[in-house]
Structures are given as structure tokens and as C-alpha cells.
């Protein structure tokens, strides 16, 4: 069968978008890996699937698959693309869209300027929510990685993140430390590794080594995680401009009892069809 899809990106974090509301198909991990191949397939960081909701209070179900075929809980840049996609496909005419994810519900708003605002919910710092093997809930945890002992902040944005502050993000050892942090045995389900340079209380620079994908040009949940941990440590003050290799996001967080909000652009690249089966 032919499967219709759309290629989109948020700040260079790119996605294959599939509508399984009007199409019927089953996509397995092997097919995801084949589609993700940038030489022999379509090429993307994640495959995002739109499905009918299971919860009647939600508009859609939002499912996310990494390039290695693993299903994950959340993707912030993908959520913005999701909102634009369901409107472009005329699956909804709403500007405010509620979706269910494996990491919990998300509220998406398509603004009149074309940018998308995402209510990401409250960041969760308790280690068991990631899960992360650690005693106590504190701003920084020591993590032994090879010969290095790193001081990391840990936070769940519906998916797990470890955030390491670095003096210069350009020279940060992302390629070396990223895979070691991602697969560290203290993270039972692996983890996304963020490398954060604080430029000022209202600006940071960030690179993210994503679980199951590798380093990407942008990571929305990673940006949220970095801002949340930075504010918690007293290094940042909302709103924060987050500069990623692929572009910029604005992250707002009013405090522990408030949801964290992300605002940023999306882009449609092309539509296509691929043989499935």
C-alpha cells in the first residue's frame, strides 16, 4: 500500500508526519529505521503519528518514534509541527488543540503569526519520574561517566533529560559524553543529554544529544528541560531565549506550580508517498 506523509521541521529538528486518522496502516520498528535512513530512506529525527484519541476530552493521540524505531513519550519541536500538520491536513480547524501523548496531555495553540505555543506541563524533578537512580530531590546530582564526575540537573518533561552546564557549548564534548550519558545505567530508560551554556539570565545556548537519535539541530523538550533546571539553580529568569544550532525558541516558566510554555516556528518541507509492506 501507499502511505502518504509530510516532511516537516522545527528549527532543523526534522520529522516524517503520518496521518493515521484517515489512513489505515501499521508501522513497525524496522520500517521506522528504514524510513529514517538519510541515504536510502526519507531521513528524519523522529516519525510522528496522528491517531484518533482514546480520551474523549482530547482531539488527537500523538505518538513519537525515534530514528532507531523506539517509541518515546514526548517531543516539543514535534508537537509544534503536529499542530500545524493537523490543520494543514484539515483534520481540525481549531487553533487550540489538545493531544494525548505517552508522557501526558499537551495543549497546542497555533498563533496568528504562524508560530506555535505549546503548554508543556510542569517539569518534574523527582528522580523516580525519569526514572533516575538517585537518593533525594536536589538541583544537581553527581554522575560518574568514564573518568569524569559530572554535575547534572535531571528533569522529566514527559521524557527524561539530563542537563550539564558547560562554559562553551561550541567546544563541549557532545560526541564523546552524549552517548555515555544517554546509556548510563542509572537511567533505566536511557536519557536525553543537554549541554547548556548560560549567556545571561535571559539567554542560553544549547546542544542536545537525543536518546535513540543522536545530536539534533534542536530539541524542544531539551530546551524546556535546560530552562527549568537553570531557573531552579538560580541561573536563569523567565522568559528565556534558547539558541540552538537550528534556531531559537522562547521558553516561559512562572514557577514550580505553573506549566512551562514553549513558543517557536515550524516549517513544511514536502509531501510524499512511500510503499508500506
Strands 2-10 and 13-19: antiparallel
Cβ-based burial of 62 (10 A; exposed 0-12, middle 13-18, buried ≥19): buried
Q: Is 224 a catalytic residue?
A: no
Q: Of 8, 32, 75, 157, which one is the catalytic site residue?
A: 75
Q: Which residues are annotated as a binding site?
A: 13, 46, 66, 76-77, 159, 192, 210-211, 220-221
Q: What DSSP character marks residue 128?
A: G
Q: Of 219, 249, 262, 263, which one is the catalytic site residue?
A: 219
**Rounded to an integer, what distance in angstroms lies between the CA atom of residue 87 and that of residue 92?**
5
- Long-range pairs, 148-151, Cβ under 8 A, ≥24: 148/177, 150/177, 150/181
Q: Which helix (H) or strand (E) holds 106?
A: strand 104-110
- Asked if 157 and 262 count as a contact pair (C-beta separation under 8 A), the reply is no
Q: Is 81 a catalytic residue?
A: no
- Asked if 108 and 99 count as a contact pair (C-beta separation under 8 A), the reply is yes
Task: Write the DSSP assignment of 25-57 as a string of letters.
Answer: ----HHHHHHHH-TTTS---SEEEEEE--SSTT
Q: Which residues are annotated as a binding site for substrate?
A: 13, 46, 66, 76-77, 159, 192, 210-211, 220-221
* Catalytic center residues: 75, 219
Amino acid at each position: 500500500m501507499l502511505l502518504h506523509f509530510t516532511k516537516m521541521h522545527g528549527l532543523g529538528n526534522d520529522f516524517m508526519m503520518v496521518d493515521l486518522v484517515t489512513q489505515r496502516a501499521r508501522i513497525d520498528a524496522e520500517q521506522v529505521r528504514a524510513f529514517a535512513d538519510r541515504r536510502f530512506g526519507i531521513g528524519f529525527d523522529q516519525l510522528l503519528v496522528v491517531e484518533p484519541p482514546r480520551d474523549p476530552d482530547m482531539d488527537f493521540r500523538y505518538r513519537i518514534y525515534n530514528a532507531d524505531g523506539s517509541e518515546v513519550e514526548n517531543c516539543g519541536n514535534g508537537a509544534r509541527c503536529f499542530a500545524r500538520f493537523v490543520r494543514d491536513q484539515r483534520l481540525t480547524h481549531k487553533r487550540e488543540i489538545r493531544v494525548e501523548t505517552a508522557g501526558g496531555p499537551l495543549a497546542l495553540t497555533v498563533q496568528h503569526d504562524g508560530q506555535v505555543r505549546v503548554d508543556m506541563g510542569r517539569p518534574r524533578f523527582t528522580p523516580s519520574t525519569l526514572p533516575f537512580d538517585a537518593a533525594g530531590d536536589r538541583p544537581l546530582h553527581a554522575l560518574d561517566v568514564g573518568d569524569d564526575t559530572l554535575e547534572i540537573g535531571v528533569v522529566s518533561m514527559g521524557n527524561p533529560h539530563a542537563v550539564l552546564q558547560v562554559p562553551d557549548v561550541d567546544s563541549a564534548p557532545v560526541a564523546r559524553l552524549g552517548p555515555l550519558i544517554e546509556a548510563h545505567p542509572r537511567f533505566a530508560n536511557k536519557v536525553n543529554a543537554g549541554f547548556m551554556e548560560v549567556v545571561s539570565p535571559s539567554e542560553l545556548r544549547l546542544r542536545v544529544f537525543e536518546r535513540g537519535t543522536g545530536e539534533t539541530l534542536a530539541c524542544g523538550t531539551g530546551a524546556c528541560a535546560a530552562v527549568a533546571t537553570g531557573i531552579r539553580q538560580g541561573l536563569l529568569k523567565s522568559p528565556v531565549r534558547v539558541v540552538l544550532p537550528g534556531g531559537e525558541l522562547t521558553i516561559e516558566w512562572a514557577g514550580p506550580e505553573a506549566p512551562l510554555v514553549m513558543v517557536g516556528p515550524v516549517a513544511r518541507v514536502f509531501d510524499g508517498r512511500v510503499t508500506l509492506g
